[in-house]
């Protein structure tokens, strides 16, 4: 039978002798005592730092260096560059005529660039843009900061709405395609109303366009100008191009901010409309229209698939009525998805079924291309 070893009676100062290296200790005992002493001192130092942090007022994320992302990086970002100190955002105010109700928000945080609203929904929020300039005067910034910070630069899990940093929303020329991001929260706030534009968003097998019919117009004001946009598409797409093993038809809609020519504009809009869950011939699109894109996450196949819902709207033109005839809108029974979706869920794309005349000049341009 196994006999448990008996405890050795403690000598005078036995605790100290058991942990403090002493002359005559065997090598193994000396190593064990040394490791204990180093670990104990490390714990004391960490405890001191925690206490000092608490006394100084807690976490101050506003003063920390932030990551910078490459031009073609995704909003969540996996490509990380060593953080550098980003200079304070220079004033971009073109004049003093800020819309009065937005001035108070700008005075709290000069990253504020405007306001986004879908009337009749929970989306009625301030919009920020984390855009800076480096020592050479080149723009830099982050599409990650406001994912987890509030207007006061405090850590905030829900984040706030923000614009892509690469092109200023306030300076001239403004982006041809202004891209706004926000979380799709289960409590129905932030960009949850954006996700509901997609007819198949948790509505299968009975998709519908009720949300679009009730909300065909989006308001996006900058600090200086009130603007309205007519929604013309809502898509579900995959944006992660480093999954070549399963994804072959990535659509990086969120990386397109300028349309330097008609070819780039028509190519982008047709890619959008092929994927749209609905159409409305009453809202046409033409080269030169200002576009706004609202992007949010949507993971019906799991978070390992970087998929999103995006809503596209074009600005109400000068002299045009903001009213939309929603009676002409119709559900697209087969929006273009992506290979992995069809492979894992079944089905296939039914092909392009929207009228090319919805995009002014497209048919003539295609004819000229042969």
d(CA 246, CA 342): 11
User: In terms of pTM, does the model score above 0.85?
Assistant: no
Taking residues 63-79, what's their average pLDDT?
30
Helix (H) or strand (E) holding 222: strand 217-222
Question: What is the arithmetic mean of pLDDT over 73-97?
Answer: 41
* Bridge partners, residue 74, by sequence: none
Using an 8 Å Cβ cutoff, are 109 and 152 in contact? Answer: yes
Helix residue ranges, H only, the chain? 14-19, 27-55, 100-108, 192-195, 210-214, 262-275, 339-345, 362-369
Give 192's DSSP letter: H
Sign of CA dihedral 118, 123, 125, 131: negative
Q: Give the confidence band of 214 by pLDDT, cuts at 50, 70, 90.
A: very high
| Distance between CA atoms of residues 325 and 26, nearest Å | 89
Smallest CA-to-CA distance from 162 within 198, 194, 125 is with 125
User: Is the pLDDT assigned to residue 42 strictly greater than 70?
Assistant: no
Residue 41 pLDDT grade (very low, low, confident, very high; cuts 50, 70, 90): low
Per residue in 87-112, is it b (16+ CB within 10 Å) or e — as a string? eeeeeeeeeeebeeebeebbeebebb
DSSP states of 48-72: HHHHHHHHTTS--GGGS-B----TT
Strand partners, 229: 218, 315
Closest CA to 177 of 83, 310, 300, 299: 310
One DSSP character per residue, 265-293 reads: HHHHHHHHHHH-SEE-TTS-EETT--EEE
Angle between helices 362-369 and 262-275 (to 10 degrees): 120
Find all residues with CB under 8 Å of 24, minimum gap 6, and list them: none
Q: Residue 2: how many CA atoms within 13 Å on its side-chain side?
A: 2
Averaged pLDDT of the chain: 80
Asked which of 11-25, 96-110, 319-333 is least confident by mean pLDDT, the reply is: 11-25
Determine which of 39-53, 113-127, 156-170, 212-226 has the lowest per-residue pLDDT on average: 39-53
Strand-pair category, 161-163 with 124-128: parallel
Q: Which of 82-91, 199-208, 216-225, 319-328 has the lowest mean pLDDT?
A: 82-91
């Amino acid at each position: 039978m196994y006999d448990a070893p008996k405890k050795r009676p403690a000598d005078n100062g036995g605790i100290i002798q058991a942990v403090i290296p002493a002359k005559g200790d065997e090598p193994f005992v000396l190593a064990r005592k040394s490791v204990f002493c180093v670990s104990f001192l490390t714990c004391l130092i960490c405890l001191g730092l925690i206490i000092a942090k608490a006394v100084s007022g807690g976490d101050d994320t506003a003063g920390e260096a932030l990551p910078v992302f490459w031009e073609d990086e995704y909003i969540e970002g996996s490509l990380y560059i060593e953080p550098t100190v980003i200079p304070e955002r220079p004033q971009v105010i073109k004049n003093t005529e800020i819309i009065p109700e937005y001035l108070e928000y700008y005075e709290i945080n000069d990253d504020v660039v405007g306001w986004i609203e879908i009337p009749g929904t929970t989306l009625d929020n301030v919009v920020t843009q984390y855009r800076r300039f480096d020592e050479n005067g080149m723009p830099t910034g982050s599409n990650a900061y406001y994912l987890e910070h509030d207007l006061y630069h405090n850590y905030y899990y829900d984040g706030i709405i923000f614009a892509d940093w690469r092109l200023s929303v306030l300076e001239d020329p403004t982006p041809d395609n202004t891209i706004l991001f926000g979380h799709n929260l289960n409590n129905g706030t932030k960009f949850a109303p954006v996700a509901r534009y997609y007819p198949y968003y948790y509505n299968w097998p009975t998709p519908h366009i009720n949300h679009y019919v009730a909300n065909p117009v989006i308001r996006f004001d900058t600090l200086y100008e009130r603007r309205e946009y007519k929604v013309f598409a809502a898509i579900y797409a995959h944006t992660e191009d480093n999954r070549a093993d399963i994804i072959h038809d990535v659509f990086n809609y969120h990386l397109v901010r300028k349309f330097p020519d008609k070819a780039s504009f028509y190519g982008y809009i047709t890619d959008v409309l092929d994927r749209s869950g609905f159409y409305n011939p009453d809202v046409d699109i033409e080269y030169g229209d200002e576009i706004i894109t609202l992007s949010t996450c949507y993971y019906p196949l799991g978070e390992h698939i970087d998929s999103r819902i995006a809503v596209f709207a074009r600005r109400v033109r000068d002299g045009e009525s903001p009213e939309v005839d929603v009676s002409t809108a119709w559900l697209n029974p087969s929006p273009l998805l992506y290979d992995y979706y069809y492979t894992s869920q079944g089905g296939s794309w039914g092909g392009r079924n929207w009228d090319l005349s919805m995009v002014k000049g497209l048919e003539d341009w295609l004819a000229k291309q042969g």
